[in-house]
Chain A
Amino acid sequence: MLYPLIDEQEMIKEVARKIAEERIVPKRAELDEKEEFPWDILKEMAQADLFGIFIPEEYGGLGFGAFENCLAVEQIAWGCAGVATTYAASGLGAYPILLFGNEEQKKKYLPPIARGEKLAAFGLTEPDAGSDAGAIKTTAVKDGDYYILNGTKQWITNAGEAEIYTIIALTDKKKGPRGASAFIVEKGDPGFSFGKREKKMGIRASATGELIFEDCRIPKDRLLGREGMGFIIALKTLDYARPGVGALAVGLAQAALDEAIKYAKQRKQFGQAIINFQAVAHMLADMATQIEAARALTYTVCKYIDTKPKDFSKYAAMVKLFASDMAMKVTTDAVQILGGCGYMKDFPVEKMMRDAKILQIYEGTNQIQRNVIARELSKEYK
């Protein structure tokens, strides 16, 4: 076996795969077509313990790490990248609480996330602050025992569906990025509402929307860490989440390769299966090789993260960059191999190609990933 797994890891993989095969694959085309949020599937995933994989046992989780989480994300993404994005985004929303929350915050918020009873979300991006995250304008002003939030977050995954949001807002505008802080905001908090629900090219089963804060009043104990730590929390959270995007890309690309091979073996032209033509066979060989390389990088970095290194930004960025570029290429080639069928909605690969594009964009564009890697390289070689 190329990647030996211990029994528990094998179990996690099997459970996620079973959900993908039996619950997600039969419904994915419909979820995509109707832009329907997959609550039924998420409930099944919750029942199967998938939401608590990396959350410690004392907070209701299973107490595994980034690697086990990535095994699950990969299998769910094999079924549907939209469902996998919803799933992984709840993890993204949980990480700031897990990494920087105090004991009360962890005890209050992590168990319902681990049980899958409540979804979490993470809100950093704003209309004028995407790659330039330091340009956020949302403010949080202290008022006695409360903070009052004002501003708008944009393109937030799980917006409206999640119950628990980690929001980055400025507590001291003069300090710029150093004046940002992270807060837990709950659905239903006064002054917190949801704006436009986006219509997307891909991952259409996932919800993406606006968070609107209008004099949103939250108790001061919702502050994560200390004032001014907002960007440290955001960047660390993204470091943990990016290998998850890698796992998502590997699962999605594997699904596209599986479809391409199945088709190439049964499609006959010029009197034989098209897999017998070198032009097709070499494409499949390249796709399989690229997937394996991305999987190896993803698994290796996830296992490294589980050794609790001080800094792994560079490797997290590499996984996200390499695996998402790979998934875009592999899904595009899968459409090419299926030819006319590949372009039709009767076959799943056109959806996979649409879904793959976002992986190069969200959680930091691949251009930003290169910046992160280059910055680290520059530090290493000074």
Chain B
Amino acid sequence: MHAGVVVFPGSNCDRDLAVAFRAAGAKVSMVWHKDAELPEGVDIVGIPGGFSFGDYLRCGAIAAKSPICRAVADHAGRGGYVFGVCNGFQVLCETGLLPGALLRNAGLKYVCKTVELKVVTTQSNYTAGYSAGDVIDIPIAHHDGNYFADDAELAKLRDQDRIAFTYTNNPNGSRDDIAGILSPNRRVLGMMPHPERAADIGHGGTDGAALFRAISGALTLA
């Protein structure tokens, strides 16, 4: 599997994401936001956490209009895989590759701690390494992770089994406790929690490693 990890000014989890992909056996290329094309042969694009463009205007809004994001949208349009974490999830919502938006946390505070996530669906190449209903420990670190979508969109997410993860104890006010969602073709995943920060024994937990192993395994065989 060849992963391309996008770097925006203000990204700060790009290297962590690259390390997690590599540990799962992937070849990784870092991709600068001003590039208009992805490197040849990229199977999956990783959009990392951080504070792209200083969170100016809205989190992820300016990054979503960068040259590389047009290439990422084309990649997704061709059925390519895209994985956005934290600020990456915000970027994916701003590009329209995923529905909804991330609002300021309901408690108004930046929340940085390890939380429990419930694995809601295993029907994706990201979550196939878990069992439905598994509860995993994954860190969060965000100020704007309060997932919002209207009732019709939430119903669609539920009916199409596209809610990947929910919080067991909602830390930010997200509707339906949503922590991560999938695109209709199940190849784009956005999530606020950081599985790349729970992918090595040195992190204090490895519950996120199964996600990287699953996607790497699926795309290496493909």
A and B held together in a complex:
no
Which B residues are closer than 8 A to A by beta carbons?
Answer: none
